[in-house]
Amino acid sequence: MSIVIFCILNTKSHHLSTFRLANELQKKGHEVAYVGPDSMKNFIESNNFTFIENDHKLISSPVDVHLKRSKEIFKEFVRDYKHNDPFEGVFKRVKPDLMLLDTSYLHYNFHVKKHGVSVMHAQTMLPLEKQKNVPPINSEVVPKNTFWSKMKIEMLWQKYFLRRRMKFFRNLAKHKTDELLLIKEKLANSQEAGNQVITKDRFLHYGLSNVPEIVFPPNEFNFPYEAKQNQFFLGFKDQWHSGYIPAAKKNYDEKKAQVEAKPIIYCSFGTLSKGDVVLDFFYRLIDASESFPEYHFVLSGGNMYSYFSKEKLANFPENVFLFEFVPQVDILQRTALMITHGGVNSVMECILNEVPMLVVPLVDWLDQPGNAARVLYHSLGLRGNIKKETADSLRMKMRAILEDGDCRVNIRNMKNRILSSPSYEQTVDYITSQIKA
């Protein structure tokens, strides 16, 4: 029996995106396991997958950001990256036929291949490549087929590349090396030297031209984009993911009948939401909720759940329900509108359940603004600003979405386009053919 290992960035959201593929591979007779730190063990095993602990800490790209730009910590990472094998302990316990390595860990590609293990890169966001009239994935710009739009997008890319180039020279001055140089050095000393090209015209992470990249979100949701060589879109069939966060049902089931007595307006900012800006937004949304007595508002507080003031909790409107987590896939089936940060998991689940969105990005350096721009481009909802929205502006935007019948039609059409696409079967077939090979 062939063995496939997933090595995914140490967040629940990245893992959730991969579970449907992992399940599909199991159905086809392959043994599947996830490798990661001990902190992911319960989550992985609760979703019925084998977990293999890796006590060697992996640093995701861009490495200098995650190492907080500390000179000594960066030096320690460089020594570890050059001289140690982060997967030695894992491969002593199991010898996989294929590893799906998160794009955030691309620089560890050579450590894996040293063991004779085939590698594919797992991209849980939309593509990062620069392409004509497609802005960087963190951009809020919605492209138009005009000269000025194309110029604006080209300037965004050039500005990003200039900033990355400046960071490259700062790292040389401070650390005597840089992530790009480390990858080049590993490549030069590998068996792939001369056959592999580092692709630099990308946002956030570099690429390797000859390593297949599995892009989990469907290309139908993207701006017009032509897949690169060795780039395969997975998309979904029937479900986006089959993941389960154990805490989600903790308190929800007790109030389920009461909550679902009316259509739901659901708000969640993902598994990593934090900060006063999120809490303040929740309070403004609660103020706005009193104008919608015909709906029940379900707030998934996440990391901010314990920060709600007792005074606020005691004075919640009758149509507002606060939970730490909720079973999102289940609740979306009863939802008329979702207010989301724009994480790809939530957006895909809304499309699958035909739920219009008000997308309110939390950060501007990841894909949330880009996903919000695509929601606007395809007319699947509206976009908000987490710092600037008032209770009045939230009322206006929610009412506009709820009364826009075309919005639901657009979402249904998007869903049907994704479900009718052959990319899911083609990509799964490609992966399995490479395992057999």
Question: For 59-93, what is each residue's pLDDT tens digit?
Answer: 999 998 878 768 888 999 999 999 999 999 999 99
Residue 256 lies in a domain: yes
Residue 251 lies in a domain: yes
CATH of the domain at 30: 3.40.50.2000
> How sure is the predictor about 274, in pLDDT bands with cuts at 50, 70 and 90?
confident
Q: Mean pLDDT, to the nearest integer, of 320-336?
A: 93
pLDDT, position 246:
60
Q: Mean pLDDT, to the nearest integer, of 103-113?
A: 96
Tell me the CA distances in angstroms from 67 to 62, 269, 363, 432, one per residue in order: 9, 25, 19, 36
| Dist CA 365 CA 203 (whole Å) | 10
* CA 350 and chain centroid, separation: 14
Are residues 305 and 381 located together in one domain of the fold? yes
Are residues 300 and 362 located together in one domain of the fold? yes
pLDDT, position 302:
86
* CA 3 and chain centroid, separation: 25
Are residues 260 and 408 located together in one domain of the fold? yes
Tell me the CA distances in angstroms from 52 to 5, 64, 86, 104, one per residue in order: 9, 27, 13, 19
Are residues 210 and 90 located together in one domain of the fold? yes
Are residues 334 and 362 located together in one domain of the fold? yes
Q: Structural domain of residue 360, as residue ranges?
A: 247-418
pLDDT, position 1:
79
Q: Mean pLDDT, to the nearest integer, of 178-201?
A: 89
* CA 400 and chain centroid, separation: 28
| Dist CA 291 CA 419 (whole Å) | 36
Are residues 405 and 352 located together in one domain of the fold? yes
> How sure is the predictor about 96, in pLDDT bands with cuts at 50, 70 and 90?
very high
- The number of distinct structural domains making up the chain is 2
SS3 call for 70: coil
Are residues 90 and 218 located together in one domain of the fold? yes
pLDDT at residue 294 is higher than 70? yes
**Maximum Cα interatomic distance, the chain, rounded to a whole number of Å:** 67
> How sure is the predictor about 437, in pLDDT bands with cuts at 50, 70 and 90?
low
Which DSSP state fits 47?
T
pLDDT, position 369:
98
pLDDT, position 249:
67
pLDDT at residue 424 is higher than 90? yes
Question: For 143-154, what is each residue's pLDDT tens digit?
Answer: 999 999 999 999
pLDDT at residue 250 is higher than 90? no
Q: Mean pLDDT, to the nearest integer, of 395-417?
A: 97
Are residues 99 and 191 located together in one domain of the fold? yes
pLDDT, position 247:
59
Residue 63 lies in a domain: yes
Are residues 50 and 197 located together in one domain of the fold? yes
Contact between 52 and 93 under an 8 Å Cβ cutoff? The reply is yes
Residue 168 lies in a domain: no
